[in-house]
Amino acid sequence: MLKKLVLFSIIISLLVFNLTIITNNVFASGATDKAKAGLDAAAPGAGFSTTAADPAGVIGKALKVVTSILGIIFVIIVVYGGITWMTAGGNADQVKKARSMLIEGVLGMAVTMGAYAIAYYFVEKLSTAAGV
């Protein structure tokens, strides 16, 4: 078992060395402009805009991303708490820990959803009032 672990470590080390240290030079300086032109041409067809977005839209998207990540984290906490409770096997300490995880996960989701709803309401009202 130890021999396999050492051999595996050596192989991985050599592979990482080859991938990071030994590189080939690529002279593709002109290709960047061509790639950008191609992306700019394809963006409207895919529903993307090549112009700069307004600050309210950027803030809204950032808020949506952050709340989505928080929601995913809280769902993972709830699922982990449920699994902990199911596998507790009558151990009171594990049940108590799992129960607190479930409560904290649900409260975290509620706070996150409430914060998103409040922020969405204010961004919507401010953008409507500003005529955006």
| pLDDT tens digits along 22-62 | 666 666 556 666 777 777 777 777 777 666 667 767 777 88
Q: Is the dihedral of CA 96, 101, 106, 107 positive or negative?
A: positive
How high is the pLDDT of residue 110?
A: 92
How far is Cα 19 from Cα 35, in angstroms, rounded to an integer?
25
* Structure tokens that stand for 48 in this block: 């993307």
Whether 17 shows a pLDDT value over 60: the answer reads yes
Residue 130 makes CB contacts below 8 A (sequence gap 6+) with 56
pTM: 0.55
Domain parsing of the chain, residue ranges: 55-132
Whether 105 shows a pLDDT value over 60: the answer reads yes
Residue for token pair 């060395």: 17
